[in-house]
């Protein structure tokens, strides 16, 4: 065992928390509290945070703002964009504050930060002065990190909302920035996140009662079309669920005075979100999508999206796995059951087992898929090596089929038995397609 996990195990919880808290403020102080110089928009919830961040960032850019963005998948500093190599949504405090400082140096006046419950628990949000918070949705996830309690998980996210109105009011570009909460009206937990006092609140959703309600939704192989109020919008990315991810951008664009035509352009310019329903094209006769789906609800949404666009008589093939390292074990069976019911072929493989036995994680998924009707070694395969698993999933595909490689998205590493290995699903898929093409 390395020194860091050992210290965490033997040190009292209050010592570890105090260390995280002090380090966060020290990092902010070191870099001169860069968040004071920008309008900071935090996006939190269980699903869709990365896509929501990218839609918001694109619409703000289309409206003429220089934007910084920090998400699980990608990081933008003005005109520069690169993948998030930290293997965590919110990087370490000094890395995080350094990125914010670089955004200020690049002239960014807007900053969008994907804000995770784990990051909040470890006080990584401290020293960041938020102005606007977006709540996407909430479902059981990361519960072992919160004593197995959904309420504690919710309250962890709620901390940043509770602190929002206490933060200083900024003046950016000569304008005083009002504190605001934007919440998914259709989520059962919305009232909790809307209960915190701020200057302004707005809701979005598909149901009656939302301030910004999407309607006339049409999803197909070329993207998604929908309307909000009298305006029509098009998304180039696949999946009806992305309407939920795009709506906060429409809300915030109106607040910022961005014209509808600019918002339309901003949404359409999001053609690829790294590892989020990302198409991999190598001239093959079937569709390959790399997606981050890593729990029951997101797996369900991803497979529903695939079912809506797959050709009649064609197959949906999914590769999936689940993280170890103290993550919620219940999601293994949830994902296995969904995959078993909604995909024609299922391949269970590694994601990030950490120190947990990979074969146990995979077996939990396989057993659930069997209960949903799949038959081992016929339309259900357990392949621990993820590279081999990806090749197997691709080899099962024929013309018109859809292959979904899920669980990691654009993550740049994989952790097996405590060791980190360089990894990119998209690169491995390309290698696999090339191998199949050459008949190797």
3-state secondary structure string, the chain?
Answer: CCHHHHHHHHCCHHHHHHHHHHHHHHHHHHCCCHHHHCEEEEEECCCCHHHHHHHHHHHHHHCCCCEEEECCCEEEECCEEEECCCCCCCCCHHHHHHHHHHHHHCCCCEEEEECCHHHHHCCCCCCCCCCEEEECCCCCCCHHHHCCCHHHHHHHHHHHHHHHCCCCCCEECCEECCCEEEEECCCCCHHHHHCCCCCEEEEEECCCCCCEEEEEEEEECCEEEEEECCEEEEECCCCCCHHHHHHHHHHHHHHCCCCHHHHHHHHHCCCCECCECEECCCCCCCEEEEECCCCHHHHHHHHHHHHHHCCCCCCEEEEECCCCCCCCCHHHHHHHHHHHHHCCEEEECCCCCECCCHHHHHHHHHHHHHHCCCCECCCEEECCCHHHHHHHHHHCCCCCCEEEEECCCCCCEEEECCEEEECCHHHHHHHHHHHHHHCC
pLDDT average, residue stretch 385-392: 97
Asked if 237 and 273 count as a contact pair (C-beta separation under 8 A), the reply is yes
Whether 332 is in a domain gets the answer yes
Of 268, 291, 318, the residue that ends a domain is: 268
Q: Is residue 105 part of a domain?
A: yes
The reply to whether 224 falls in a domain is yes
Say if residue 1's pLDDT is above 50.
no
19 pLDDT band (50/70/90 cuts)? confident
pLDDT tens profile 289-334: 999 999 999 999 999 999 999 999 999 999 999 998 877 788 999 9
pLDDT digits (tens, 9 = 90+) for 124-168: 999 999 999 999 999 866 555 556 678 888 988 999 999 999 877
Q: Sign of the CA dihedral 177, 38, 75, 20?
A: negative
Domain boundary among 268, 296, 313: 268
Does some domain include residue 393?
A: yes
Radius of gyration of the chain (CA): 21
For residues 408 and 376, membership in a common domain is answered with: yes
Looking at the fold, whether 101 and 167 belong to one and the same domain comes out as yes
Q: Is residue 296 part of a domain?
A: yes
Q: For position 19, which CATH number holds?
A: 3.40.1190.10
Residue 438's pLDDT is what?
A: 75
User: In this model, does residue 403 exceed pLDDT 50?
Assistant: yes
Number of domains in the chain: 2
For the chain, the average pLDDT equals: 92
pTM: 0.92
Q: Is the pLDDT of residue 88 over 50?
A: yes
**pLDDT tens per residue across span 378-387:** 999 999 999 9
Among candidate residues 248, 268, 288, the one where a domain is terminated: 268
- Residue 16, pLDDT > 80, answer no
Residue 29 belongs to a domain: yes
Say if 273 falls within a structural domain. no
Residues 131, 237, single domain; the answer is yes
Residues 239 and 297 in one domain: no
Same domain, 101 and 158: yes
351 and 254 within one domain: no
Does 198 share its domain with 309? no
The answer to whether residues 318 and 242 belong to one domain is: no
Do 321 and 397 lie in a common domain? yes
Say if residue 79 is exposed, middle or buried (CB neighbours under 10 Å; 0-12, 13-18, 19+).
exposed
Nearest in space to 352 (alpha carbons), one of 114, 124, 87: 87
Q: Is the dihedral of CA 378, 380, 384, 386 positive or negative?
A: positive
Are 193 and 222 part of one and the same domain? yes
Residues 341-380: tens digit of each pLDDT: 999 999 999 999 999 999 999 999 999 999 999 999 999 9
Q: How confident is the model at residue 169 (pLDDT cuts 50, 70, 90)?
A: confident
Q: Is 333 in the same domain as 302?
A: yes
Question: CATH code at 386?
Answer: 3.90.190.20
- Please tell me whether residues 301 and 373 are part of one structural domain: yes
Res. 14: pLDDT tops 70: no
Domain that residue 61 falls in: 3-268
């Amino acid at each position: 065992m390395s020194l860091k996990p050992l210290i965490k195990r033997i040190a009292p919880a209050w010592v570890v928390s105090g260390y995280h808290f002090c380090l966060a403020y020290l990092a902010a102080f070191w870099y001169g509290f860069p968040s004071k110089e920008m309008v900071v928009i935090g996006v939190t919830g269980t699903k869709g945070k990365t896509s929501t961040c990218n839609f918001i960032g694109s619409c703000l850019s289309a409206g003429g703002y220089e934007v910084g963005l920090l998400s699980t998948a990608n990081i933008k500093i003005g005109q520069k964009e690169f993948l998030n190599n930290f293997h965590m949504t919110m990087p370490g405090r000094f890395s995080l504050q350094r990125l914010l400082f670089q955004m200020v140096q690049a002239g960014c006046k807007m900053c969008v930060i994907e804000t995770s419950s784990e990051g909040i628990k470890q006080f990584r949000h401290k020293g960041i002065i938020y102005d606007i918070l977006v709540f996407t949705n909430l479902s059981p996830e990361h519960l072992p990190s919160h004593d197995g309690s959904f309420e504690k998980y919710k309250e962890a996210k709620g901390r940043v909302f509770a602190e929002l109105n206490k933060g200083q009011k900024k003046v950016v570009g000569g304008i005083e920035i009002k504190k605001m909460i934007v919440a998914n009206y259709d989520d059962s937990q919305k009232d909790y996140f809307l209960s915190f006092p701020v200057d302004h609140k707005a809701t979005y959703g598909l149901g009656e009662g939302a301030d910004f309600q999407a309607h006339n939704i049409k999803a197909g192989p070329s993207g998604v079309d929908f309307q909000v109020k009298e305006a029509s919008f098009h998304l180039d990315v696949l999946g009806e669920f992305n309407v939920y991810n795009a709506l906060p951008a429409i809300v915030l664009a109106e607040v910022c005075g961005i014209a509808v035509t600019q918002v339309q352009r901003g949404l359409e310019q999001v053609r690829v979100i790294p590892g989020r329903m990302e198409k991999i094209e190598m001239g093959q006769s079937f569709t390959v999508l790399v997606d981050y789906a890593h729990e029951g609800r997101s797996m369900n949404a991803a497979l529903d999206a695939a079912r809506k666009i797959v050709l009649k008589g064609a197959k949906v093939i999914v590769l999936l796995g689940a993280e170890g390292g103290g993550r919620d074990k219940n999601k293994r069976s949830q994902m296995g059951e969904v995959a078993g019911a909604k995909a024609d072929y299922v391949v269970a493989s590694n994601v990030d087992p950490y120190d947990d036995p990979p074969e146990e994680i995979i077996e939990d998924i396989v057993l659930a898929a069997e209960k949903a009707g799949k038959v081992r070694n016929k339309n259900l395969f357990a392949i621990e090596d993820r590279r081999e698993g990806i090749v197997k999933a691709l080899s099962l595909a024929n013309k018109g089929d859809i292959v979904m490689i899920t669980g990691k998205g654009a993550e740049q590493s994989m952790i097996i038995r405590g060791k980190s290995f360089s990894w990119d699903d998209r690169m491995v898929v390309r290698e696999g397609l090339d191998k199949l093409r050459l008949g190797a």
